[in-house]
Amino acid sequence: MITITRPSWTRDIWGWDPWRELDRLHREVSGIFGLPRLRRLAAYPPMNVHTADDDVVVTSELPGVDPSEVEITVSGDTLSIKGSRKPRELKEGEQWHRRERGFGEFFRTVQLPFTVDASKVSAEYTNGVLKIVLPRSEADKPRKIAVKSTN
């Protein structure tokens, strides 16, 4: 990515800020070229939320985690994921060349688009991707109300 140093005068002298326009343009162009626009959050693990009428599916990239140690809790329309990624321990005589993979504890809470039935939530962990299926609670489902004519 190209970094452009923004001169401090632009915004003051010109009502219109060409640098901001460039930023906006860059974002739009990235969108056109198939890179999904991501929310740049430093939250771990990263999540994608897929919604349908009757349920919501949350997927999360969480490689190298013991699934039995991941704690998923649901309450109303809130989903929380808690767990930890263990660091690689060196054996005797072993030394580091590179260490890029993060480790440590994580805890995240996301708000879902609707209230879910906590008893029907299911989760699976395949190839380092966690997938949680959360069915919408019956009480929350939209109800069609028939209009009676009274004449």
Partner 1 sequence: MEDAKKNIEKAQAKDASLAERTKDRVIFTPAVDITEDSNNLYIYADVPGATEKGVNITLENDVLTIEAQVEEAPMEGYTRTYSEYATGDYYRAFTLNEAIDRDKIEATLKDGVLGIVLPKAEAVKSKKIPIKAG
Where do contacts with partner 1 occur on this chain (CB under 8 A)?
1, 34-44, 46-52, 56-57, 61-67, 88, 90-91, 93-102, 110, 113, 125, 127-129
Nearer to partner 1, 31 or 76 (CB): 31
CB of 37 to partner 1, least distance (A): 8
Measured between alpha carbons, how far is residue 39 from residues 51, 122, 150 in Å? Answer: 18, 26, 52
Cβ proximity to partner 1, 51 vs 84, nearer residue: 51
- 46 exposure class (CB count in 10 Å sphere: 0-12, 13-18, 19+): middle
CB of 36 to partner 1, least distance (A): 5
Closest separation in Å from C-beta 1 to partner 1: 8
List residues bridging with 136 in a β-sheet: 116
**Comparison of 95 and 150: residue with beta carbon closer to partner 1:** 95
Q: How far is the CB of 17 from partner 1 (least distance, A)?
A: 23
| Residue with smaller CB distance to partner 1, 90 or 146 | 90
Question: For residue 81, how many other CB atoms are within 10 A of its CB?
Answer: 22
Contacts (Cβ under 8 Å, ≥6 apart) of 67? 125, 130
Q: How far is CA 54 from CA 32, 51, 68, 88, 107, in A?
A: 31, 8, 28, 41, 27
